[in-house]
Chain A
């Protein structure tokens, strides 16, 4: 899995845990549009082959290439959160941002002709709904630093010959 180049929080999926149920898509599209529709989901399930399954949403890159690529200055990046914001008056749906995105995390709404981004459900209490609904805890709302920290912990844990805590039965 390609890691984000971000210092900001973002939503990441562990392909080892993702089962491809698409619940994240259903719940995202409902949260954003009031309808269930994978095409309108800001997070997309990716089924590369029979077993390689994951989900991808905006990775809040630092110096986001989509912002740089926008020919009409319709995109800005929130300096605090890294969330990409769009000015619908300026965006003309030209899709350059889609081409610039290394993660395929942007899509165009075919009706409004506007680019659509994950905004981490910043306006919703309880944060990202996809993370809340993921039945296998494959989705995580995290930062690269936090992930690195966890990796270090896991490494140390796995080098021990005795368990230090009970395993989650899930």
Chain B
């Protein structure tokens, strides 16, 4: 078998044992890798219905099909557990070097079961598994932890996935970091923290071979060349942060906790501003010829020295969304999140929720008392220094940070119960995961994509903002086509997330990003790697299967149609300014959109999956358990 080793490594943190499971080639043809295979491993190994912090919730790594080869942007792995934020599938991707070490160690997947009594660092050295004490790593930031581990082994090719202080403190949106990249969303860091798992390091020394190296190298070279041209210019020059001004112009830039979609200081927190004043260098994940990561440094002011990679989603969450027009504070906020290992998107929206609570008198200055600010914080929108202190309070679970570390859904519930308030109305989350950087009130197809999303408020799994923004669909209205558009959009994204490949390469195969432009080339890459005989339909089915599988997982964990919902604000409070003012998604519209979406999927009215459909996709055992 080329491209795979056929082996899944199981590790028990409680018993300190490990074993190997062998999988047949047919299994890989269905589940491929990335979030698809990771979700399948989670399906097979989870204790159904368990609390996300229970030992029965496994940590599931699944490698990419192209990891460890020169196939551009194929250097990614998937990570899945039940999400502490949503209670449903928590599936994330992360790029860079770790996946290549995993490939060379010849593990297609790694499943970590149970929980440890003491903090532990797992070292996978080709076939050997060691349980090392993690005492000396505790409290270290993500990057520091990795550096210390590599120094300990004296080998730069030992790559680690780690959690930082946020994960150790079980901040519900803590994440997992490797090589400066994150499996960012849905709270993997908290799951690791609950297991006392500080780091997983891998050293792999075996060479990687593919079925048809000649074809693979030729395609890789051509795609690498194409990736230096206009198709990726946006990512190479300014990175995704260039969206700040684009979204502002469309009136879709989350501003002051999604109260508005235009930000008067957008020019000062734009990708262009970042490029001129803060950018130090661009860097790439392994195998990536694009290099979108804009490493940015604060040179002056109270946050001088802060440095991290800046991209649109995190930037909008902590800048415009918090009313902050100071790029230096924004970089520092993302720096706090990245170094301490928490999701800067969820963190930003949690801070903006707190700011609105403060401005509406639900939270008072003295509620924010902490060591750094003993009298509390006047947490108005735009208070960058206050926001940084609050981020640190969340990281350390200090004072009210302990409550806010639970994310907006749980924090709002607790605050409203205690104070008789209605702050849930501005707690911006879907299924418990904080919303992304597009105001969906005036992006109706995307609103549907978000509402039905299997991992909650996520822009990565549904790309339905794309037809809305490009004018393929009318973004202000609802019609009968949207169910299919949203459905096809998430299945398209699921192909990339399951291979996995970074979506930024999508135009570099033939110049066209649509299925006809990309799938034949991807099929050819899969065949050159594995020796299989995949065609257009097989590639398309990767996405359908992967998405259906995630939905099946959620159904087994208790999902009902009521969970496909939007935040209160998007359903009731229109924006007052800019080109997207005046729009909301009404309850009737949402109900209709969901109905036509379930229809487009071939699911029941309640959003359940017919047995027949699951069997057709080759997932008979899943059909048996949750099919109707």
User: What residues make up the interface of A, taking CB atoms closer than 8 Å to B?
Assistant: 16, 19-23, 26-27, 29-30, 33-40, 44, 46-47, 49-51, 53, 110, 133, 135-136, 170
> Given the complex, which residues of A lie within 8 Å of B517, measured CB to CB?
none
Q: How far is the CB of A54 from chain B (nearest CB, A)?
A: 11
Once the chains bind, are B205 and A39 in contact (CB under 8 Å)? yes
Q: A22-B286, A27-B70 are in contact. List 6 more A-B contacts (CB 8 A).
A: A35-B209, A36-B68, A40-B207, A47-B179, A50-B307, A110-B205
For A21, give its contact among B157, B284, B295 (CB under 8 Å).
Answer: B284
Once the chains bind, are A26 and B69 in contact (CB under 8 Å)? yes
Q: Which of B97-137 contact A (CB under 8 A)?
A: 97, 100, 104
CA distance A16 to B281 in the complex (A): 7
CA distance A50 to B228 in the complex (A): 23
CA distance A40 to B100 in the complex (A): 14
> Given the complex, which residues of A lie within 8 Å of B157, measured CB to CB?
38-39
CA distance A21 to B280 in the complex (A): 17
8 residue pairs bridging A and B, Cβ less than 8 Å apart: A21-B291, A22-B100, A22-B286, A36-B209, A50-B309, A133-B221, A135-B225, A136-B291
Once the chains bind, are A47 and B205 in contact (CB under 8 Å)? no
For B288, give its contact among A21, A35, A49, A133 (CB under 8 Å).
Answer: A21
> Given the complex, which residues of B lie within 8 Å of A170, measured CB to CB?
228
Q: How far is the CB of B284 from chain A (nearest CB, A)?
A: 4
> Given the complex, which residues of B lie within 8 Å of A50, measured CB to CB?
143, 180, 283, 295, 307-309
Known: A30-B217, A133-B221, A135-B228. A51 touches B281 (CB 8 A): yes
Q: How far is the CB of A152 from chain B (nearest CB, A)?
A: 25
**Does B224 have its Cβ within 8 Å of any Cβ on chain A?**
yes
**Chain B, interface size: which category?**
35 or more
Q: How far is the CB of A111 from chain B (nearest CB, A)?
A: 9
Q: How far is the CB of B205 from chain A (nearest CB, A)?
A: 5
Interface string of B257-301 (1 = CB under 8 A from A): 000000000000000000000001111111111010001000000
Known: A135-B224, A170-B228. A36 touches B288 (CB 8 A): no
> Given the complex, which residues of B lie within 8 Å of A39, measured CB to CB?
104, 157, 205
Closest 4 CB pairs of A and B: A35-B207, A135-B289, A37-B207, A19-B284
Q: Which residue of A lies closest to B67 (CB)?
A: A36
Once the chains bind, are B283 and A20 in contact (CB under 8 Å)? yes
Q: How far is the CB of B303 from chain A (nearest CB, A)?
A: 17
> Given the complex, which residues of B lie within 8 Å of A35, measured CB to CB?
207-209
Once the chains bind, are B207 and A29 in contact (CB under 8 Å)? yes
> Given the complex, which residues of B lie within 8 Å of A36, measured CB to CB?
68-70, 207-210
**Does B49 have its Cβ within 8 Å of any Cβ on chain A?**
no
